[in-house]
Structure 1
Amino acid sequence: MSNLVTHNADKDRYEIHVDNILAGFTQAFEDGDVVTFPHTVVFDQFEGQGLASQLVTGALDDIRVRGKKIIATCPYVARFVEKHPDYQDLLA
């Protein structure tokens, strides 16, 4: 099984694909140097595989490389950042 996280700027989101099938996404609305994450979804048939964590990790790693900060209004993203101190520097 191959998982890939991509930034889909046209749809304002990061997506995770499992074997080339869209398995979920996290909305990511950019406003200058700040990206707001309001909602994360992993589709039912892909739940329980740790994909949300992989998705958010990939998204936050990309945000860091791009030199931006985040606002985590999505409860999942907020908890993820709280549990992973190495991403707390990204908070706006």
Structure 2
Amino acid sequence: MAEIVNNTAKQRYELHQDDALAIAAYERRGDVVVFTHTVVPGALQGKGIASRLIKHALDDVRAQGLKIDPRCEFVTAYLERHPEERDLLADAG
């Protein structure tokens, strides 16, 4: 299984698989991680890559004691399907 890394220099979580790159881009604003967009190339679509990427990113944000602002439609949809993650929302507390 491909490893997911947080490329802090480019402000994105990355998953390299089969010569393709899937990303979850963000902007760090103090203690809030603003997810701006998620991109999964066609070759990787339909394999749950975006969900794996966001799950990893949210786990990482939680481990750092940060909050999120989901500006990305996919992250918003992920939170709808996984209400247990909504405590990470910057406006949840």
TM score, norm. by length of structure 1: 0.92
1:9 corresponds in structure 2 to 8
For 2:56 and 2:21, the matched residues in 1 are separated by 14
The percent identity for this pair of structures is 42
For 2:24 and 2:45, the matched residues in 1 are separated by 14
- The answer to whether 1:86 aligns with 2:84 is yes
1:25–1:42 contact (8 Å) kept in structure 2: yes
| Equivalence map 1:1-92=2 (5 Å) | 2-18=1-17, 21-92=19-90
Gaps of 5+ in 1: none
Runs of 4+ with >3 A deviation: none
Q: How many residues align?
A: 90
The letter for the 2-side match of 1:81 is L
How much has 1:40 moved relative to structure 2? 0.3
1:15–1:22 contact (8 Å) kept in structure 2: no
1:34–1:69 contact (8 Å) kept in structure 2: yes
For 1:88 and 1:82, the matched residues in 2 are separated by 8
The letter for the 2-side match of 1:89 is D
TM score, norm. by length of structure 2: 0.91
Gaps of 5+ in 2: none
For 1:48 and 1:3, the matched residues in 2 are separated by 16
